[in-house]
Chains A and B, each alone.
Chain A
Amino acid sequence: MTARTYMPLGQEAIAAKGWLGAHKYLLLRRTSQLFFLVLFLLGPWFGIWIVQGTLAGSLTLGVLPLTDPFIFLQSLIAGHWPALTAAIGAIIVLVAYALIGGRVYCSWVCPINPVTDGAHWLHRKLRLQKGWQPKRGARLWIMATVLIVSGLTGTIAWELVNPITMLHRGLIFGMGFVWAMVAAIFLFDLFVSRHGWCGHICPVGAFYGLVGSKAMLRVSATNRTACDDCMDCYAVCPENHVISPALKGKDTPLILSPDCTNCGRCIDICAEDVFKFTHRFDALTVAPPESTAAPQPRASRPF
């Protein structure tokens, strides 16, 4: 962007809704990420055993088993028929994410998300090039590769490199050199490929995207007639190709792409309150009032 067109991100939203209002979902999301981490850390740090285990598999209050369904799937393909506990845990997680959106895991739970969000924040501050952008389908290819390698080698292949469970396990059980892996992902996202890891590589995200492809909870550009083309939502969205069909399309205002992580940043950043969380059957758009003229484009307005 040239200096002429560059305007500080989210300034209008902050002016319209206040700083808190313009960061509501971001703060909620960080709280959620911290909540899930602290839940796991209460035991080892303070001896309060609400949750045992890691994101790969856990036991809550001694009764509720949860298993990462992608790890479960790899184990199945590797030739192990898991015990009932793991199967129940995987089904519970699958059903939950199928309802609320698979990639809610990515933006509300995954401990790598703050890392790549941080990289993106710095990327924007430094106004770097977006760099290498693999095709959107790349992560699905990688996911298929992981499953094939699991089958061929008889191991849970992605767990040999998965930074999500490694970082989570590292924080709970002992870090080793996981920090180097996290640093590598940060640098990759910052200098090599914008949104590279979460948006293009990570097969866990690809898997959860498929799980949540018919999810109930969706973001909708219900009020899209109020859009003044400020482009702030495109700038903050980690998967910004999902916005156009809903915001600029003629059909449903719902963001139906399984790539959408339901992070809610578009809702925060929009001064015109175009977006909101809703369910997938809510296809209503707010009709523009007959008498009002279309909103003026942002560049012509004084700031």
Chain B
Amino acid sequence: MSRVGSPLSPQRRRFLQDSARAAGGCVAAGSVLAWLARDARALPAEALRPPGALPEKDFLSACIRCGLCVRECPYDTLKLAELGVDAVATGTPYFTARDVPCEMCDDIPCVAACPTGALDPGLDNIDDAKMGVAVLVDQENCLNFLGLRCDVCYRVCPVIDEAITLEVEHNARSGHHAIFIPTVHSDHCTGCGVCEKSCVLPEAAIKVLPARLARGSSAAHYRNGWEEKEAKGAPVVEGIIDLPDRLPGPGTDNLVAPGGFEPSFKLPEVTQ
């Protein structure tokens, strides 16, 4: 290799070597750290953040893991994740609803204690908290679904009759009873987890899940026809013919079904 000009100095060579070495080491160490940081975002579904917690990604940039929210929690609901024990980003606050649910204090002391705003100080009404959404995950074992009047999740709900209602349905099994279906309404449910904690089954049939798991979402362009019709005060599409609904079983206008009867109106003649 031929060199033109002045020979390169050994100091320069050493400087470049040392810098390359340090940079290489930092890239390796930084990659491991970045991988850990990515891993830390995987919050287990049963781990719920305190009320007012920022979305998980923002939360990890904001929470300094001081534990002041844990200290202010009067019900010992919150705890800090322990290294290698809880699969939550180490040192960050969380709670498990089935162990100790959030009691939804009116003054929200955990949010007031947070020095960084990782728990959003804008949350001034605990009923607006969104720690998760309760979902009746097991309709096969839920006692109410079996036709019993357990109702415990409904009765303990701090936002009773708004976050959980009992919807009456016909009990097809017995044929003459009702089923009172505990039904969660996500816009009122705070995700406090009292329902999950109180479920009488050995494994709760109603569970609080993070919204990302609990909820679907409607496409932005979807419209509910009946709402549009009501808003317009007339059918959305003009001149549409409302055909009779063909339902199975007796008492319908389905002539094929036993007990079917002639419809009270004439269908339009099809001309050839």
Interface residue ranges, A against B (CB under 8 Å): 43, 49, 52-54, 56-59, 65, 67-68, 71-72, 75, 78-83, 85-86, 89, 135, 137-138, 141-142, 144-146, 148-150, 152-161, 165-166, 169-170, 172-178, 180-181
A–B Cβ pairs within 8 angstroms, 28 of them: A43-B71, A52-B68, A54-B65, A54-B67, A59-B115, A67-B115, A71-B64, A83-B115, A86-B64, A86-B117, A89-B115, A150-B61, A155-B40, A155-B60, A157-B33, A159-B65, A160-B90, A165-B91, A166-B83, A169-B65, A169-B80, A170-B83, A174-B79, A174-B85, A176-B83, A177-B82, A178-B82, A178-B83
Q: Which of B26-84 contact A (CB under 8 A)?
A: 26, 29-30, 33-34, 36-38, 40-41, 57-58, 60-68, 70-71, 79-80, 82-84
A80→B117 contact, CB < 8 A: yes
Q: Give A161 to B64 CA distance when docked, in angstroms.
A: 13
Minimum Cβ distance to chain A for residue B32 (Å): 9
Q: Please determine whether A137 and B34 come into contact, CB atoms closer than 8 angstroms.
A: no
A145 and B26 form a contact (CB under 8 A): yes
| A149-B34, A177-B83, A178-B83 known, 17 other contacts, Cβ within 8 Å | A56-B64, A57-B66, A67-B64, A67-B115, A78-B61, A83-B116, A85-B115, A137-B22, A138-B22, A145-B26, A145-B29, A148-B30, A155-B60, A159-B64, A169-B65, A174-B85, A181-B83
Contact status B116-A57, CB under 8 Å = yes
Task: Write the nearest CB–CB distance from A143 to chain B, whole angstroms.
Answer: 10
Q: With A144-B26, A174-B79, A177-B83 known to touch, is A160 a contact of B67 (CB < 8 Å)?
A: no
Tell me which of B18, B40, B68, B84 contacts A53 (CB under 8 A).
B68
Q: Interface of B with A (CB < 8 Å)? A: 18, 22-23, 25-26, 29-30, 33-34, 36-38, 40-41, 57-58, 60-68, 70-71, 79-80, 82-86, 89-91, 113-118, 121
A65 and B65 within 8 A (CB): no
Selected contact of B80 from candidates A148, A150, A173, CB within 8 Å: A173
CA distance A83 to B118 in the complex (A): 9
Of the residues A142, A169, A172, A180, contact of B26 by C-beta under 8 Å: A142
Contact, CB under 8 Å: B61 / A149? no
CB pair B116–A160 under 8 Å, yes or no, is: no
Distance in angstroms between the alpha carbons of A182 and B71 in the assembled complex: 25
B40 to chain A, nearest CB (A): 6
Q: A67 CA to B79 CA in the complex, in Å?
A: 20
Q: Is the CB of B34 within 8 A of A153?
A: yes
Chain B residues, CB < 8 A from A49: 71
Give which listed residue, A54, A75, A158, A172, contacts B116 with CB less than 8 A: A75
Q: Are A154 and B67 in contact (CB under 8 A)?
A: no
Cα separation A202 to B109 with both chains bound (whole Å): 35
Asked whether, in the complex, the Cβ of B65 is within 8 Å of the Cβ of A165, the reply is yes
Min CB gap A69→B, angstroms:
11
Min Cβ gap B80→A in Å is: 5
Closest to A163 in B: B83
Contact of B115 among A57, A150, A166, A176 (CB under 8 A): A57
Contacts of A146 in B (CB 8 A): 30, 33
Question: In the bound complex, do residue A141 and residue B25 qualify as a contact, i.e. CB atoms below 8 Å apart?
Answer: yes
